[in-house]
């Protein structure tokens, strides 16, 4: 079949950087879906994007669909024809519906009887006829966080659409959307003039032609160009040693989507601002301005230089003028930050605690001061739960008292540095004489902030983080704001995940159910139906523990199901059980044990008995040996379970599989003698009881 190449470009006003990746994926997925539906094959599909364009290029695309011979089944013959053999209205309607005549009819035998049918010849459509509809539907399916209307159009898009390029080889596709007709002309970089445009003759030349008008349409190529430029810059004076741009992959991705023709430009700010905490400077540069910080590489801490790098989208010949403007902006922002900082540290951190009464945490849960008071109580409970000594308890309670204080400082209250919560508190604490462990806990209690973030390193920070997150989870869910797949405004899932991760990392012997009960009891004035909420939250945490075991330890679903017989309140205990069971699952002798145990479970499910097994009623050798082996290991198994030595427990239980197999081979459980039958069921119940100290291994799946 003849192959063609296709290019489609949507030209727009500047699209926000955060919108571009998802939009590109939407375009790609939509085209793949539609081409598959139309049975059109292709060789490669490339996506291009800049702030002013979203483009797709397909090479080796089928020029048309294949012709098809298709058998179309109609109604039953006795319905399509009357007793005299004349076609009925039903039969005529079928033929009209598919554009056939009576001479085209076939009689087709099926398992359900004889039907009428027709062999249809379906001529494949040309790709150029199908593409306009695909492009129109794709435009409608691109998802943006926010959209807008422009002109008289009712269609919503991230930014106004200004042009389309739509080519099939060298031919322009007849496509119009939102009053814009497709052609071959695309726009170049703005700094060369508003009418800086170029014609694309054929799809294959697209990315190279755009470079002539200073546009790097290939996102990855543009990103690598930026990295190369950053690496080639020289910083500081030679006597200061080497320096380099502070690595920031997230910022690199953002600036890649902010420019079409990148130029890395070095700039400076007043050296006096280096006295500010480092993250205040890097946050000013990266979060507010999307600039890169510069650090010395010959120092372990990587201290900052009073230099920064911005990626310009302007004319490189005018970089010096652009630099002056950017330096003025950075200087002003750092001046503001310096003012906030020096005003804030005039007071100790304790000074700000009472001001938390003026900030609402959540309407039904009170202010941040109310939350602080709850944290002190939860931390006190946690300290007792893990037998924390008096000195550590004091540090923990003091950390709870101060951990939210920075939220009402000027630095955070002005909303420019909100992502530095905790970091600001830590620095202010150290400056105003607070003990380093408390300062560290203030910083770490927000951890983990995201999926791949670090966890608190110290025990004080870990316990404070657990308390803070547990108060949030219990409070928010307790007032009915249950997180869903798409709605979780208070980041409940992240908080719950953080709790189980921290407990796991620090090996904390904490009862989750007791901690949930305590947190809810502290909230009793704000929350009704404590029992209902306890069950809801307890079950939610069970799902979060399963997430931890699946994601971090790669525990399989059937192993987790086998542990459902337990309360799932001690994370360390359930984790150890899961790990040992997962390891044993691959052993051949364990497979034998599981097979035998499933027979035990099946019999007991249909024949439940409460009687104790009597050794005197054991008749057959196999049942005597099973009983003897069971009672020999039972006391030691119970001791090992108490110490969570589950590997050793499994080592002792697995050999029992041979006795179970022999029992079922040689002993008739459901015999006529009722006393023997009841006693044998009681023996199997003892076997089940022993196994349930480890897991319900009947749930283990080998299929």
User: How many Cβ atoms from other residues are within 10 Å of residue 591's Cβ?
Assistant: 15
User: How many Cβ atoms from other residues are within 10 Å of residue 116's Cβ?
Assistant: 24
CA–CA distance, 56 with 51 (Å, rounded to integer)? 15
Per-residue pLDDT band for 203 (boundaries 50, 70, 90) equals very high
pLDDT of res. 586: 87
CA–CA distance, 691 with 563 (Å, rounded to integer)? 11
Asked whether 57 and 48 are in contact (CB, 8 A), the reply is yes
pLDDT digit string (tens) for 534-560? 999 999 999 999 999 999 999 999 999
Read off the pLDDT of each residue in 160-184 and give the average, rounded to a whole number: 95
Q: Higher model confidence: residue 269 or residue 77?
A: 269
pLDDT at 415 over 60: yes
pLDDT at 200 over 50: yes
Asked whether 350 and 434 are in contact (CB, 8 A), the reply is no
Which residue in 2, 9, 77 sits closest to 40, CA to CA? 2
Give, as one character, the DSSP assignment of residue 21.
H
Which residue in 315, 293, 311 sits closest to 302, CA to CA? 293
Asked whether 15 and 174 are in contact (CB, 8 A), the reply is no
3-state secondary structure of 674: helix
Read off the pLDDT of each residue in 357-367 and give the average, rounded to a whole number: 95
pLDDT of res. 237: 60
CA–CA distance, 513 with 523 (Å, rounded to integer)? 15
pTM of the model: 0.81
pLDDT at 238 over 70: no
**98-107, 239-248, 257-266 — most confident range:** 257-266
Read off the pLDDT of each residue in 144-158 and give the average, rounded to a whole number: 90
Q: Higher model confidence: residue 396 or residue 595?
A: 396
Read off the pLDDT of each residue in 435-460 and give the average, rounded to a whole number: 94
What domains appear along the chain, each with residue ranges and CATH number? 3-65+126-211 (3.30.70), 68-122 (no CATH), 219-343 (no CATH), 350-554 (1.10.3210), 577-699 (1.10.730.10)
Please give the sequence-ordered ranges of beta strands (E in DSSP) within 550-685, or none if there are none: none
CA–CA distance, 605 with 25 (Å, rounded to integer)? 51
pLDDT at 700 over 60: yes
Burial (CB < 10 A; 0-12, 13-18, 19+), residue 88, is: middle
What are φ and ψ of residue 643, in 5° steps?
A: -95, 10
Which residue in 364, 365, 459, 347 sits closest to 405, CA to CA? 347
Read off the pLDDT of each residue in 4-16 and give the average, rounded to a whole number: 96
pLDDT of res. 239: 46
Asked whether 519 and 471 are in contact (CB, 8 A), the reply is yes
pLDDT at 689 over 50: yes
pLDDT digit string (tens) for 464-505? 999 999 999 999 999 989 888 778 888 999 999 999 999 999
Which residue in 184, 236, 145, 248 sits closest to 6, CA to CA? 184
pLDDT at 115 over 50: yes
In whole numbers, what is the pLDDT of the chain averaged over residues? 91
pLDDT digit string (tens) for 341-361? 999 999 999 999 999 999 999
For helices 646-653 and 621-642, give the axis angle rounded to 10 degrees. Answer: 180
Read off the pLDDT of each residue in 129-135 and give the average, rounded to a whole number: 95
Q: Higher model confidence: residue 101 or residue 614?
A: 614
pLDDT of res. 269: 96
pLDDT digit string (tens) for 27-61? 999 999 999 999 899 999 999 999 999 999 999 99
* Percentage with pLDDT > 90 across the chain: 66
Write the DSSP assignment of 381-447 as a string of letters: HHHHHTT--HHHHHHHHHHHHHTTGGGGSHHHHTSSSGGGTTHHHHHHHHHTT--HHHHHHHHHTT-
């Amino acid at each position: 079949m003849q192959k063609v190449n296709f290019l489609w470009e949507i030209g727009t006003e500047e699209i926000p950087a955060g919108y571009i990746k998802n939009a590109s994926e939407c375009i790609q997925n939509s085209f793949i879906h539609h081409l598959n539906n139309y049975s059109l094959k292709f060789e490669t599909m490339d996506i291009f994007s800049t702030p002013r364009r979203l483009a797709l290029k397909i090479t080796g695309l089928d020029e048309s669909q294949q012709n098809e011979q298709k058998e179309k089944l109609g109604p039953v013959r006795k319905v399509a024809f009357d007793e005299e053999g004349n076609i009925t209205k039903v039969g005529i309607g079928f033929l009209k519906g598919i554009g056939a005549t009576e001479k085209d009819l076939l009689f087709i035998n099926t398992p359900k009887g004889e039907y009428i049918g027709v062999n249809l010849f379906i001529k494949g459509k040309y790709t150029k006829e199908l593409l306009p509809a695909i492009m129109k539907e794709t435009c409608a399916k691109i998802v943006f966080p926010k959209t807008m209307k422009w002109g008289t159009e009712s269609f919503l898009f991230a930014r106004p659409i200004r042009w389309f390029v739509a080519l099939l080889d060298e031919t322009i596709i007849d496509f119009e959307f939102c009053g814009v007709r497709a052609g071959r002309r695309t726009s170049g970089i703005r700094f060369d003039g508003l009418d800086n445009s170029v014609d694309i003759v054929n799809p294959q030349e697209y990315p190279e032609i755009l470079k002539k008008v200073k546009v790097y349409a290939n996102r990855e190529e543009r990103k690598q160009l930026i990295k190369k430029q950053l690496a080639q810059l020289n910083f500081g004076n030679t006597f200061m040693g080497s320096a380099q741009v502070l690595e920031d992959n997230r910022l690199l991705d953002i600036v890649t989507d902010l420019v079409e023709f990148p130029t890395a430009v070095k700039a400076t700010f007043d050296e006096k601002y280096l006295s500010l905490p480092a993250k205040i400077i890097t946050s000013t540069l990266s979060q507010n301005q999307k600039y890169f910080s510069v650090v010395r590489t010959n120092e372990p801490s990587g201290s900052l230089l009073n230099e920064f790098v911005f990626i310009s989208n302007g004319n490189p010949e005018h970089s010096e003028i652009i630099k002056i403007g950017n330096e003025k902006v950075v200087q002003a922002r750092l001046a503001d930050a310096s003012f906030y900082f020096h005003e804030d540290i005039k007071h100790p951190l304790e000074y700000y605690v009472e001001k938390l009464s003026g900030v609402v945490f959540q309407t039904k849960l009170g202010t941040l001061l109310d939350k602080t008071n709850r944290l002190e109580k939860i931390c006190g409970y946690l300290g007792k739960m893990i037998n924390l000594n008096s000195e550590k308890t004091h540090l923990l309670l003091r950390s709870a008292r101060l951990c939210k204080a920075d939220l009402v400082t000027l630095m955070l209250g002005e909303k420019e540095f909100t992502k530095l919560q905790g970091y600001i508190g830590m620095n202010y604490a150290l400056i105003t004489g607070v003990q380093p462990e408390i300062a560290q806990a203030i910083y770490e209690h927000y951890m983990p902030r995201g999926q791949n973030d670090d966890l608190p390193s110290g025990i004080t920070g870990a316990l404070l983080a657990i308390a803070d997150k547990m108060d949030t989870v219990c409070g928010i869910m307790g007032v009915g704001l249950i997180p869903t797949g798409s709605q979780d405004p208070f980041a409940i899932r992240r908080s719950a995940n953080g709790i189980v991760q921290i407990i796991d990392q620090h090996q904390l012997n904490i009862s989750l159910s007791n901690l949930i009960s305590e947190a809810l009891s502290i909230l009793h004035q704000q929350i009704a139906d404590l029992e209902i909420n306890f069950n809801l939250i307890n079950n939610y945490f069970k799902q979060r523990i399963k997430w931890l075991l699946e994601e971090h330890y790669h525990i399989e679903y059937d192993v987790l199901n086998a542990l459902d017989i337990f309360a799932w309140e001690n994370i360390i205990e359930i984790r150890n059980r899961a790990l040992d069971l997962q390891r044993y699952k691959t052993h051949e002798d364990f497979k034998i044990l599981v097979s035998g145990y499933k027979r035990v479970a099946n019999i007991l499910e249909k024949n439940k008995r409460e009687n104790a097994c009597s050794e005197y009623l054991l008749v057959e050798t196999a049942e005597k040996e099973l009983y003897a082996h069971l009672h020999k290991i039972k006391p030691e198994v119970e001791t090992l379970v108490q110490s969570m030595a589950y590997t050793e427990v499994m080592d002792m239980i697995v050999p029992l599989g041979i006795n179970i197999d022999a029992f079922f081979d040689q002993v008739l459980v459901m015999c006529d003698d009722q006393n023997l039958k009841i006693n044998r069921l009681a023996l199997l119940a003892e076997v089940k009881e022993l196994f349930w100290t480890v897991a319900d291994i009947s749930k283990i799946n080998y299929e």
